[in-house]
Amino acid sequence: MTRRQKKRMLALAGSLTSIICVGMLIGTVYAQTLEQEQQEEAVVQEIVLPDVLEEETKQSTEELNAEDEYEENLPDDWNLILVNRTHPIPEDYEVELKPIGSGHQIDARAYDDFRAMIQAAKSEGIYIYVTSSYRDLDKQTDLYNKKVESYVMQGYSYENAKEQAGQVVAVPGTSEHHLGLALDFVSSEYRKLDEKQENTKGFQWLEEHSWEYGFILRYPNGETDITGIIYEPWHFRYVGLEAAKEITESGLTLEEYLGAEPVSEGLARMEEQEDLESRQKETGGRYTYDTEEE
């Protein structure tokens, strides 16, 4: 091997050594960088993840609080107390009753207007009779349970039977009859409580004149979503002379007149809130509503 060839070999070996050293250096730096990035990522996850969970918990809590803060500015007037499936009778409610015959009773403050209405109808040859008036909680519970049983006998599940019964007989604690302000009327020519009652002279007279004595048809036809009760052409409610006139002229239900939430919406909101509370309890307060997929 010549001297020139030896120099070339030495130069080549030096070059290879330099390349290898540089490669090793680059590999070491890359490994260190990768390790550092992984450590930083772990730190970020450790810091950010609890923040995300905290934000979700805060969001779900705010949603729940928003539901809790739902309020209606309803009047406190005794004659305008709203009672339906989403507005139970106040626990401290008391009423002074006055008998109106045949074992029936009415709030003493509505007695004079009731008697005047019956007498006015009679003077025109219209005879209407009260079939149901004030009911205590025990009586309402008995009526409701019997209605539930009747639907179960028809093949409904117990839960569906309760739902159907609640639209025909008020759930105990949510009946206007417990106020002493609601009366069920029948006409002399037809004594059944069904929709055929609307064809009687008694109903037609009440529909036209009851507001003059402070009464309204409480559950009009086609308004079940708002009132929570099916059409009942026999159920009239005392609201006072002024309110009865305004409600009749406007064509509003009592819920609409008072600015209350429709019963169907109130029930849906209550179920949604109960579901949220249940899921939050199951997940330690970290559940929020799922985003609806498109």
Q: Which residues belong to the active site?
A: 232
Helix (H/G/I), strand (E/B), else coil: 141: helix
Give CA separation, 269 vs 167, 169, 233, 238, 273, in Å. 18, 22, 29, 29, 6
CA distance 226 to 267: 11
Q: Which residues of 2-35 are buried (b: 16+ CB within 10 A; e: fewer)?
A: eeeeeeeeeeeeeeeeeeeeeeeeeeeeeeeeee
The neighbouring-strand residues paired with 236 are 183, 217
Output the DSSP codes for 150-163: HHHHTT--HHHHHH
- Residue 192: name the closest of 133, 222, 234 by CA: 234
The amino acid occupying position 208 is: E
- Residue appearing with tokens 């199951």: 282
CA distance 227 to 85: 8
- Residue 202: name the closest of 190, 216, 212, 194 by CA: 190
The neighbouring-strand residues paired with 106 are 98
What is residue 175's DSSP assignment?
A: -
What is residue 171's DSSP assignment?
A: P
